[in-house]
Amino acid sequence: MAGRIKILVVDDEIIVRESLIGWLKKGGYQVDSAEGGRQALGIIDEREYDLVFLDIMMPGVSGLEVLKELKGRYPQTLVVMITAYGSVETAVEAMKNGANDYLMKPFEPEQLTLLVEKLLQQKKILDENALLREQVASRSRYQDLVGASACMQKLFNLIEEVAAVDAPVLLRGATGTGKELVAKAIHAKGPRRFGPFIPINCGAFPENLLESELFGHEMGSFTGATRAKKGRLEIAQGGTLFLDEIGEIPLKMQVDLLRVLEQKVFHRVGGTGSIPLDFRLISATHRDLAKEIEQGRFRQDFYFRLNVIELEIPTLKERGEDIPLLAQHFLDRFRRETNKPVAGIEAAALDLLGSYAWPGNVRELENAMERAVVLAKGRYLNKRDFAFLFRGEAPDMPFSLEEMERNHIGQILKQCGWNISRAAQLLEINRTTLHNKIKKYELRPSK
């Protein structure tokens, strides 16, 4: 492994250069060196370096200038600035310009080894995440739908076929599986895509309101109808009507809707003028309609009218291989929205997400990613960032709450330079409690 890693050392001081080269070669890495910025810029194009050690203070072309050039040409290459005690501020400046870390002179071989291992580990995560990102951007995406699994690829093909014909479609799938996104994709791919996409959640209205929501009403048609209103059937003209939660429609409404769909005309509540139907119909339910029919809660004739074409949307658990892709997709979105510097997800965290049951399907994963990004402490999401998923499932919990608390407090203390008052404030506990926790967890400042 180490033998394939290419490292470049750039420093004008021969002693620093030679010792770095010596130690790194001992670690089994391939090492090249340059005596200054100009020479460095000349050789970075010869081989793609994984890691570059770059002295900040050099005569001629400075370390900062090399950094900018290097990151411009090879953004994946890791850069560690070498700095003297007096120039920490410049190092901070360099970090802002994309340097990944810095090393202060003088340093010990152990320090170097740890740093290199840490950075290479990060690079591995970044490379893996870049691969996922590429997949999200490519054939694993259809409209807004992400999915590389065979069942999703099959669904994408079906959507493509179904979109071309005008027949009613019934979407079946558990909560949060993406029924509405699929409906939108069908609309966006079909001949009515320039018309409106009008959703209505049939479960959200009491019976009398649902009627006027769907068909509209004329002024004065019932108490409170102070003006005429168009219904969703009318607004959807030329486009697509999406009847969501179709299983919640009361039986009497089912009769009315069935008649309208058969006669292809309707009129507003309290109105007489007939309006022709001109939309594509997509409906959706998480219920098993066959069972609803058996139990007399759903009309069979209405069902036959709705499900000329039926699409089944798989649960997230049935397509576990899509979890890393979706996680990456949501990570990218929430990072953009929150501006949090979260660079990626550790492989162990992805494994953990794969082991979870996801009763809320993609919506639950979306919410979990948002929460993890918002609360993230580090640059990479790890297992602990998803611990909340397993609360209340103690037997399956892969790490203890105590361990989490210990880490959290340790991190805050480090961040505050062990200023107890400040840390207590950040943790929102009092100083005595903090002292007790420090004792309990045997925390102490690291050197």
173 binds, among ligand ATP, Mg ion, none (CB under 5 to 8 A by kind): ligand ATP
321 binds, among Mg ion, ligand ATP, none (CB under 5 to 8 A by kind): none
Instruction: Using the minimum distance from each CB to Mg ion, give the nearer residue, 160 or 180.
Output: 180
Instruction: Using the minimum distance from each CB to ligand ATP, give the nearer residue, 42 or 203.
Output: 203
Rounded to the nearest whole angstrom, what is the least distance from the CB of residue 180 to Mg ion in the complex? 4
Give the binding-site size for Mg ion (rule: CB under 5 A): 1
Rounded to the nearest whole angstrom, what is the least distance from the CB of residue 298 to ligand ATP in the complex? 17
Stated as kind and residue range, the H or E segment containing 324 is helix 323-338
Integer CA distances (angstroms), 95 to 183, 241, 342, in order: 46, 52, 15
* 8 Å CB contact between 5 and 50: yes
342 binds, among ligand ATP, Mg ion, none (CB under 5 to 8 A by kind): none
Rounded to the nearest whole angstrom, what is the least distance from the CB of residue 170 to Mg ion in the complex? 14
3-state SS, residue 56: coil
In the sheet with 169-172, reading across from the earlier edge strand, the strands are: 197-201, 240-244, 280-285, 169-172, 309-312
* 8 Å CB contact between 244 and 180: yes
Instruction: Using the minimum distance from each CB to ligand ATP, give the nearer residue, 172 or 384.
Output: 172
Provide DSSP, 326-350. Answer: HHHHHHHHHHHHH-----EE-HHHH
Which residue of the chain is nearest ligand ATP when measured via CB?
178
Instruction: Using the minimum distance from each CB to Mg ion, give the nearer residue, 35 or 213.
Output: 213
Helix crossing, 109-137 with 323-338: angle to 10°?
A: 100
Stated as kind and residue range, the H or E segment containing 355 is helix 347-355
Rounded to the nearest whole angstrom, what is the least distance from the CB of residue 72 to Mg ion in the complex? 45
Instruction: Using the minimum distance from each CB to Mg ion, give the nearer residue, 65 or 180.
Output: 180
Angle 84-85-89 (CA atoms, 0-180°, nearest 5)? 90
Which residues are near ligand ATP by CB under 6 A? 144-147, 173, 175-181, 286, 326, 362-363, 366
200 binds, among Mg ion, ligand ATP, none (CB under 5 to 8 A by kind): none
Name all contacts of 138-144 with Cβ < 8 Å and 24+ positions apart. Answer: 140/325, 142/185, 143/181, 143/184, 143/185, 143/188, 143/189, 144/181, 144/184, 144/185
51 binds, among Mg ion, ligand ATP, none (CB under 5 to 8 A by kind): none
267 binds, among ligand ATP, Mg ion, none (CB under 5 to 8 A by kind): none
Q: What is the Cα Rg of the chain in Å?
A: 30
Rounded to the nearest whole angstrom, what is the least distance from the CB of residue 179 to ligand ATP in the complex? 3
Angle 379-316-345 (CA atoms, 0-180°, nearest 5)? 10
Angstrom distance (rounded) from CA 56 to CA 419:
31
Instruction: Using the minimum distance from each CB to ligand ATP, give the nearer residue, 122 or 285.
Output: 285
Rounded to the nearest whole angstrom, what is the least distance from the CB of residue 227 to ligand ATP in the complex? 31
Rounded to the nearest whole angstrom, what is the least distance from the CB of residue 179 to Mg ion in the complex? 5
- Per-residue contact flags (x/-) with Mg ion for residues 162 to 191, judged by CB under 5 A: ------------------x-----------
Instruction: Using the minimum distance from each CB to ligand ATP, give the nearer residue, 144 or 402.
Output: 144
Residues that bind Mg ion (CB under 5 A): 180
